[in-house]
Amino acid sequence: MILLKQVFKAYGALEALRGIDLEIPEGECAVLIGPSGCGKSTLLKTINRMVDIDAGTIELGGVDVGAYAPELLRRQIGYCIQGVGLFPHFTVHDNIAVVPRLMKWPEAKIEVRVRELMEMSGLPESYRLKKPKELSGGEAQRVGVCRALAADPPVLLMDEPFGAVDPLTRERLQLAFTEIQKALKKTVVFVTHDVEEAITLADRIVVMNQGRILDAGTPGKFAGAL
Ligand code: ADP
Ligand code: ADP
């Protein structure tokens, strides 16, 4: 589903990605783990072309991501980041509706979809017209996940989406996320620096350091070692 070959990216003199080879099969959740600054976010953002690469190739479903029209890529890939992702002046409903509106869905269809996503992620219906500042950290993260899922993209890129919430909420969100991911067979690239989280969520763990992939394998392979 996602295939990276010899991907390089430098920011000026700083080599953020130094020859990344990675294949993520359809329906798999790959978790990128590694120290701060090792290139995890950069790698994630090359897949939806928020970051342009210097060399190498990236394919999504057998097609070079550079060949996708931006709207088509947005439809294929949901993106979720920690904390800052929500538009503060938009309601919960309007935040979740961003991509469907870009895709010109009728409002009635959007409303049905927003209610369905909120129910699925455990957000009370009465929150639909709240603003982000009226939500707890965990609730805001749920809205962020709903937004990434809104137009039902086959691929999800998650950049430490549960980083800023308390441990209990985090555990609940992880559980809900895994259920959704498996039920809807999403292909996921998930960034975290939390080993427990990686082991909980991953079909495959990919360990990065200094712009390279050091090792990859099932959570079982790492459960004892990390
Ligand atoms: P991680 O997600 O693993 O913390 P990043 O991909 O964010 O790592 O960053 C990799 C390296 O690239 C870091 O040294 C970071 O400072 C640098 N970097 C990231 N984004 C930029 C940017 N837009 N401009 C310059 N340097 C950047
Ligand atoms: P251009 O101005 O030709 O788009 P770029 O440096 O943006 O120059 O891209 C060079 C080539 O690499 C183009 O074919 C572009 O589509 C492709 N490309 C850019 N970024 C990516 C990426 N993240 N993944 C795959 N291909 C990319």
Q: Which residues of 101-115 are buried (b: 16+ CB within 10 A; e: fewer)?
A: eeeebeeeebeebbe
Does residue 80 surpass a pLDDT of 70? Answer: yes
Q: What is the pTM of this model?
A: 0.85
Q: In this structure, are strands 63-64 and 204-209 parallel, antiparallel, or unpaired?
A: unpaired
Distance 58 CA to ligand 2 centre (A): 10
Sign of dihedral through CA atoms 139, 28, 65, 16? positive
Of all atoms in ligand 2, which is nearest to the CA of residue 67? 16
In this structure, the residue with its CA closest to atom 27 of ligand 1 is 11
User: Packing angle between helix 137-149 and helix 167-183, nearest 10 degrees?
Assistant: 10
Of all atoms in ligand 2, which is nearest to the CA of residue 66? 16
How far apart CA 12 and CA 10 sit, in angstroms, is 6
Measured from the alpha carbon of residue 68, the closest ligand is: 2
Of all atoms in ligand 2, which is nearest to the CA of residue 54? 6
Nearest to 140 by CA among 188, 80, 206, 100: 80
The DSSP bridge partners found for residue 55 are 8
- H/E run at residue 11: strand 2-11
Ligand 1 pocket check for 36: Cβ under 6 Å:
yes
- Between vectors from CA 128 to CA 124 and to CA 131, what angle results, nearest 5°? 115
pLDDT score for 225: 63
Ligand 1 pocket check for 60: Cβ under 6 Å:
no
Does residue 156 surpass a pLDDT of 70? Answer: yes
User: Confidence class of residue 163 from pLDDT cuts 50, 70 and 90?
Assistant: confident
pLDDT score for 15: 97
Does residue 226 surpass a pLDDT of 60? Answer: no
Residue type (1 letter), 224:
G
In this structure, the residue with its CA closest to atom 21 of ligand 2 is 52
pLDDT score for 88: 93
The CA-atom distances, in angstroms, between 151 and each of 16, 41, 51, 73, 215 are 31, 23, 22, 12, 33
Does residue 84 surpass a pLDDT of 80? Answer: no
In this structure, the residue with its CA closest to atom 14 of ligand 2 is 66
Does residue 48 surpass a pLDDT of 80? Answer: yes
Ligand 2 pocket check for 64: Cβ under 6 Å:
yes
